[in-house]
């Protein structure tokens, strides 16, 4: 049994001063304040008296880190990624694929499924909860750096190939809703428990709404790889920003989206529906140089990842995105924290993640008041400090 104490706790919906959190077998048992609760006599105690206890961060869109790409990494590479993420406050993540030849994607999905199924063996690093399939069902007009020769029309047969390779571990899928066959694939994937995210899309407003009607409920890296917002032709962004039923994520590095537009996005979606992601590549946490994004070589310099002159992922970490959200807007730590914990967990239906309450997994952070990571605890185990 483990007891955690700190200066304050954000659940993140509630603030508790001088909290007392009891953990047993990797699960939160009780959450109380020290003025009401008692510390069990036989418990091990970790006291973070000057820190703030929060849920662990959840990154639902990440391609790699620490020099490794999720589509290429073996078990050792995945271990390096996951230990790096834990050091930066991420306790759960969704390895994200990029468009490639079908067989390349299938092999990557099989390996990522191996990592997910073996994740229970490790309690000292970030845990992969599922796979985010980004491509190949994307718009040619808004493909970004996804190779055009490998983009596919969405069909149930194509989707099922990927589903079988991933052994049912696909939990998020980005798709352009205007493509022929998209509505059928969205509906079928939704039945299988996949969170459908509209993105890499040139959809007009009607097509975007058709995707939502078919089952889409999220949007991928808002503003990037999307038809621009026009006051007479709002397009996909008009739906993403105005529909209260949609959650949406954003890359808040100040490079992909101007800080003022990040602020407008956070105002539009609010603390309940905004999600922070990294879209990080293997270059995250590494010096400038050349790295891989799937099968694409990217050049990294001055915080930018480029392929043929186009942005290709980021070097952002989620703890940095958390602090940026506060800097770019009027949000406080608790509001920004929700966008990196509870909200992404809700997008992927991870009911035991992104919150601190009895029955939740003991994935916890200790933060300073300005969002600096002091310590990370995954399933009750101190992962980094």
- The beta-strand segments (E) located in 56-89 are 57-62, 64-65, 68-69
Question: How far from 357 is each of 14, 68, 81, 136, CA to CA, in Å?
Answer: 10, 34, 28, 38
Is the separation of the CB atoms in 60 and 277 below 8 Å?
yes
Rounded CA-CA distance 93/345 in Å is: 10
Peptide bond into 136 cis (omega under 30): yes
279 tagged catalytic: yes
Which tokens hold the place of 7? Answer: 């200066």
Which tokens hold the place of 351? Answer: 């009911």
Is the separation of the CB atoms in 362 and 380 below 8 Å?
yes
DSSP at 359: T
Which tokens hold the place of 104? Answer: 């390349």
DSSP for 210-221, written as a single string: HHHHHT--EESS
Residues near 270 by beta carbon (within 8 Å), at least 6 away in sequence: none
In the chain, what are the helix, strand and coil shares in percent, each to the nearest 5? Answer: 30, 30, 40
Is the separation of the CB atoms in 116 and 169 below 8 Å?
yes
Which tokens hold the place of 27? Answer: 């699960």
DSSP for 219-239, written as a single string: ESSTTTTBPPP-SS--HHHHH
Q: Which of 126, 30, 14, 28 is nearest to 70 (CA)?
A: 126
Cross-strand partners of 47: 5
Given 59, 249, 279, 361, which residue is catalytic? 279
Q: Which of 134, 198, 136, 133 is nearest to 170 (CA)?
A: 133
Which tokens hold the place of 145? Answer: 């750096």
Indicate which residues carry an active-site annotation: 279
């Amino acid at each position: 049994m483990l007891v955690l104490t700190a200066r304050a706790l954000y659940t993140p919906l509630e603030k508790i001063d001088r909290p007392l959190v009891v953990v047993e077998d990797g699960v939160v048992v009780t959450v109380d304040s020290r003025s009401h609760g008692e510390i069990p006599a036989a418990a091990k105690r970790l006291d973070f008296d000057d820190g703030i206890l929060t849920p662990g961060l959840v990154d639902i869109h990440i391609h790699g880190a620490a020099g490794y790409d999720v589509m290429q990494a073996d078990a050792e590479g995945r271990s390096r990624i996951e230990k790096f993420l834990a050091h930066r406050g991420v306790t759960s993540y969704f390895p994200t694929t990029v468009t490639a030849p079908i067989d390349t994607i299938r092999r990557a999905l099989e390996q990522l499924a191996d990592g997910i199924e073996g994740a229970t063996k490790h309690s000292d690093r970030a845990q992969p909860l599922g796979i985010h399939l980004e491509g190949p069902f994307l718009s040619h007009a808004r493909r970004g750096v996804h190779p055009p020769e490998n983009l596919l029309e969405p069909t149930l047969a194509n989707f099922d190939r990927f589903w079988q390779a991933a052994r049912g571990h696909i939990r998020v899928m980005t798709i352009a809703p205007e493509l022929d066959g998209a509505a059928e694939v969205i509906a079928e994937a939704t039945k299988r428990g996949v969170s459908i995210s509209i993105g890499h899309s040139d959809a007009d407003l009607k097509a975007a709404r058709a995707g939502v009607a078919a089952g889409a409920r999220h949007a991928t890296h808002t503003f990037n790889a999307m038809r621009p917002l026009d006051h007479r032709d709002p397009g996909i962004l008009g739906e993403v920003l105005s529909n209260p039923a949609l959650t949406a994520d954003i890359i808040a590095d100040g490079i992909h989206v101007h800080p003022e537009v990040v602020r407008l996005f956070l105002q539009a979606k609010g603390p309940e529906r905004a999600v922070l992601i990294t879209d990080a590549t293997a270059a995250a946490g590494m010096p400038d140089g050349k790295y891989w994004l799937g099968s694409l070589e990217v050049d990294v310099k001055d915080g930018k990842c480029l392929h043929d002159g186009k942005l290709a992922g980021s070097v952002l970490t989620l703890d940095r995105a958390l602090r940026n959200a506060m800097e770019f807007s009027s949000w406080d730590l608790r509001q920004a924290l929700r966008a990196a914990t509870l909200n992404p967990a809700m997008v992927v239906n991870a009911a035991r993640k992104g919150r601190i309450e009895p029955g939740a997994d003991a994935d916890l952070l200790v933060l300073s008041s300005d969002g600096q990571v002091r310590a990370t605890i995954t399933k009750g185990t101190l992962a980094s400090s």
